[in-house]
């Protein structure tokens, strides 16, 4: 029986991972934890929700014990663009939550999932079909945390037997909660802006390729990896996963085919330009495919159609 804790449950991934886990393992077995009271209140409408600061190890331990948790999904993170505004906070939060999760997982015998990211790569990484095992020398604090987190998670696995597993998420496109402070956020924001205002100003340069995943595939990757037969895992922290790669200009051109009145321009943010240029153009995710059967279902065209329909519905509902 799985007893699951989702940390940082109110964010872009958590908002959709909690119902996904509830469907798989039963609502009573999933606890959604977040730091902010208003977020916990909202989560509480559809799930068992608690307020928890992942840096407060005593409260965190108490919760694991009282709820007999055996699987931790640690989603606590400051993303790449926000991290550059406050590197110290990004380090303290991203690494603090992970270190506490790994130490407590060791004590309470829990499995741990922590997302890594394309942010783990840097300028010296091969950008085309970026291999699973390659140079990881990022130049953002977010990336430094991700690489450190991958190493730390593998260390806790080999040294203490903690069942730590992870994927390197690319940009995740979704229509639940908005992402916050990432370099790939443009690929979500544009859908809301096109529906609301018919236009969008993009902060990422027009010709920068980045990998993306649609949320249903991101959720599938998460639970599929956590269910995978450990004997088949050559890697653990962390697997490349992707399902599409495009530039802002390519995405906007495809949206315009569906909404001909859509217009856009660019006001490039130098930080986002530098970060996005340092990340891969497209990943090679063959290890994930071979070791645990990763097989994404959503391509760019279906994703765009689905996003436009879902965002339209959401914007119309909010306007009522």
Residue of this chain nearest to ligand SER (CB atom): 182
Q: Which of 119, 138, 149, 280 binds ligand SER (CB under 6 A)?
A: 119
- The verdict on whether 73 is a catalytic residue reads no
Q: Which of 73, 156, 169, 186 binds ligand SER (CB under 6 A)?
A: 169
- Of 142, 156, 200, 209, which is the active-site residue? 142
Give the whole-angstrom CA distance, residue 143 versus residue 137: 8
116-124, 128-136, 155-163, 212-220 -> range binding ligand SER (CB under 6 A): 116-124
Query: Closest distance between ligand SER and the C-beta of residue 183, in Å?
Result: 4
Are 201 and 266 in contact by the 8 Å Cβ rule? The answer is yes
Are 111 and 163 in contact by the 8 Å Cβ rule? The answer is yes
93-101, 176-184, 190-198, 236-244 -> range binding ligand SER (CB under 6 A): 176-184
Give yes or no for residue 122 binding ligand SER (CB under 6 A).
no
Give the whole-angstrom CA distance, residue 226 versus residue 42: 27
Q: Which CB sits closer to ligand SER, 184 or 208?
A: 184
Q: Which CB sits closer to ligand SER, 118 or 136?
A: 118
Query: Closest distance between ligand SER and the C-beta of residue 59, in Å?
Result: 28
Q: Which of 110, 118, 145, 147 binds ligand SER (CB under 6 A)?
A: 118
Query: Closest distance between ligand SER and the C-beta of residue 91, in Å?
Result: 15
112-120, 156-164, 227-235, 237-245 -> range binding ligand SER (CB under 6 A): 112-120
Give yes or no for residue 183 binding ligand SER (CB under 6 A).
yes
Q: Which of 29, 47, 130, 184 binds ligand SER (CB under 6 A)?
A: 184
Q: Which of 171, 248, 280, 296 binds ligand SER (CB under 6 A)?
A: 171
Give the whole-angstrom CA distance, residue 292 versus residue 132: 14
Q: Which CB sits closer to ligand SER, 59 or 181?
A: 181
1-9, 17-25, 67-75, 113-121 -> range binding ligand SER (CB under 6 A): 113-121
Give yes or no for residue 47 binding ligand SER (CB under 6 A).
no
Q: Which of 15, 71, 80, 94 binds ligand SER (CB under 6 A)?
A: 80
> Which of 132, 169, 175 lies closest to 312 in space, CA to CA?
175
Give the catalytic positions in this structure.
142
Binding site for ligand SER (CB under 6 A): 79-80, 117-119, 142, 169, 171, 182-184
């Amino acid at each position: 029986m799985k007893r699951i804790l989702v940390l940082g449950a109110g964010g872009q991934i958590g908002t959709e991972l909690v119902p996904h886990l509830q469907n798989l393992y039963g609502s009573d077995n999933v606890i959604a934890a977040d730091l902010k009271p208003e977020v916990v209140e909202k989560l509480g409408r559809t799930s068992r929700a608690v307020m928890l600061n992942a840096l407060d190890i005593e409260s965190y331990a108490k919760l694991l014990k009282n709820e007999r948790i055996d699987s931790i999904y640690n989603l606590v993170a400051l993303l790449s663009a926000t991290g550059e505004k406050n590197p110290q906070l990004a380090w303290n939060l991203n690494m603090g939550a992970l270190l506490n999760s790994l130490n407590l997982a060791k004590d309470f015998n829990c499995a741990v999932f922590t997302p890594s990211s394309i942010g783990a790569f840097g300028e010296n990484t091969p950008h085309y079909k970026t291999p699973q095992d390659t140079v990881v020398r990022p130049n953002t604090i977010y990336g430094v945390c991700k690489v450190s987190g991958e190493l730390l998670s593998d260390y806790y696995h080999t040294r203490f037997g903690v069942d730590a597993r992870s994927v390197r998420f690319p940009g995740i496109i979704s229509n639940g909660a908005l992402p916050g402070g990432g370099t790939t956020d443009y690929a979500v924001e544009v859908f809301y802006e096109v529906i609301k205002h018919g236009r969008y100003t993009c902060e990422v340069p027009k010709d920068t390729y980045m990998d993306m995943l649609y949320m249903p595939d991101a959720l599938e990757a998460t639970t599929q990896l956590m269910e995978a037969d450990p004997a088949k895992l050559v890697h653990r922290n962390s697997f490349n996963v992707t399902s599409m790669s495009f530039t802002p200009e390519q995405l906007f051109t495809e949206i315009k085919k569906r909404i001909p009145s859509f217009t856009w321009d660019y006001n490039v943010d130098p930080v986002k330009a530098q970060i996005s240029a340092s990340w891969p153009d497209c990943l090679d995710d063959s290890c994930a495919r071979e070791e645990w059967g990763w097989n994404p279902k959503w391509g760019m065209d279906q994703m765009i159609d689905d996003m436009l329909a879902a965002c339209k519905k959401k914007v119309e509902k909010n306007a009522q």
